[in-house]
Every structure is written in C-alpha cells, then in structure tokens.
Amino acid sequence: MTTSKSRAVTGAHAIGNRGASPRFAKFVRQRRIALLAAAALAQACVLGWMVWERETLLSQGREIALDVVPVDPRSLFRGDYVILSYEMSRIPAATLPQDIRTGDRVLIALAQRDGAWVVTGAGTPAKPPAAASAPGAVSIAGHVQHRTHDAWPSGNLVVRYGIESFFVPEGTGKEIEGNVAARKVIAHVALRRDGTAALKGLTVDGVRMEMPPLF
C-alpha cells in the first residue's frame, strides 16, 4: 500500500513539474523580452537626449569663427572626414596649474583681435581664466590629450574641444586639405555658456559647408 501511495505521489509531482516547466519557460522568455525592451528604450532615450542637446547647442549657442591651421606632417584627410586643428589646440603648459593631467577639463579664454579669435587666458573649471570675464570674451572647454616638449620651459598641452572632425562629401576631402594648408578654411563653432563647443560648419575658400546632421 505504501509503495502504491509513493508511486501516486511521485506521479502527481511529475505531472505538476511538466505543467510548471512550460509556464516557467514562458515567464523567462517574457522577462527576457521585457529586459531587452527596457534596455532598447533606455538607449533610445540617451541617444535622443544627445541629439536634442547637440541641436539645442547648434541653434542657440553663440557662434564664433576660428581659423583652421595646418597640421604637419600627417595627412588631414581620413576617409570621409577631415581632421581640424586650431591655434588653441596647443596651450603653453606654464599657463595652467602644474598638476594638470591627461584627461583633465580646461577652460580657454578667447577674444577677438584684428577680426580673429585668439587665446587670452587658460584655466580650469575650479579656477576659470580671468580673461574670460573681459567684455566680448568667451570661454571654450576642452580636455587635455597629452603634453609635448617642443616649447620652453615646460612644453605645450595638446587640448581637444570636440570640434576636430568634419565629415565631408565624397571626393572633397583632398580639396579641403589643400585649402587648410593654404589657410583658407574657417570653422564655425557654437558655444554654450559653460564652454561646451559644437562644430556647425566650415567656410572653405569663401564657400560655407554645413556640418551634416547626426541622423
């Protein structure tokens, strides 16, 4: 009798497990789909925020025009985009705190002189350059990429501002590169109050080219 009852109980458990297994598998699938959907939604929100933030900066930021300078000896053309450099791409290390490190955020003050924007001071978010408060001056924020030892006494800091790449129509890269070498290229940059910059377009030998949209 005991054996018969045990078999009956075992059979009941087996039937219950067979019934529970499909339900559990369905639950796992639904949970996985929900997690994937949530991750995709989060990514879409982040991407949308980035696009909105950039478009707001481009439409509402203060526009300045910066002279693009040649970069030797490497080629400026990289497939479908051109590498851009500016006078402010190299900042004397002596003008910034001695403990500045690669990756640190810096603020560079710019002012117009003889129609061109030139560097008038350098600092950090904790200690902004005094020149940035001068009438008509602006600040542009960048990050230190590395230090060079090509200038006395402490070399230069190579700074990137997020405006060093311009996507170009197919077949025009080499032409733009030649105009950069001839100093015939101007970069149009939008600035936010905190110094964040975005590249709006280029004027190449008198002809303006707008930065292509992100999407």
Mind listing the pLDDT tens digit for each residue in 152-182?
667 899 999 999 988 877 777 777 878 887 8
* Residues 211 and 63 sit within 8 Å (Cβ to Cβ): no
Residues 20 and 125 in one domain: no
| Nearest residue to 76 (alpha-carbon basis) of 89, 93, 63 | 89
- Residue 92 preceded by cis peptide, ω within 30: no
Residues 106 and 171 in one domain: yes
Three-state SS at 169: coil
> What letter does residue 124 receive in the DSSP assignment?
-
- Asked, for residue 215, whether it belongs to a domain, the answer is no
Residues 69 and 56 in one domain: no
Round to whole Å and give the CA distance between 23 and 129: 65
pLDDT score of 137: 94
Residues 103-139: pLDDT tens digits?
Answer: 999 999 999 999 899 999 999 999 999 999 999 999 9
Residues 9 and 49 in one domain: yes
> Which residue range(s) make up the domain with 82?
63-210
Residues 96 and 189 in one domain: yes
Round to whole Å and give the CA distance between 96 and 197: 20
Residues 89 and 47 in one domain: no
Q: What is the pTM of this model?
A: 0.71
> What letter does residue 43 receive in the DSSP assignment?
H
Residues 47-72: pLDDT tens digits?
Answer: 665 565 677 777 788 999 999 998 75
Residues 165 and 146 in one domain: yes
Q: Where among 41, 60, 79 does a domain terminate?
A: 60
Number of domains in the chain: 2
Residues 24 and 102 in one domain: no
Residues 6+ positions from 38 with CB-CB distance below 8 Å = none
pLDDT of 36 > 90? The answer is no
pLDDT score of 86: 96
Residues 52 and 147 in one domain: no
pLDDT score of 73: 44
Residue whose tokens read 């339900």: 23
Specify which of 75-79, 91-95, 137-141, 201-205 reaches the highest per-range mean pLDDT.
Answer: 137-141
Round to whole Å and give the CA distance between 82 and 50: 23
User: How buried is 91 (Cβ within 10 angstroms: 0-12 exposed, 13-18 middle, 19+ buried)?
Assistant: buried
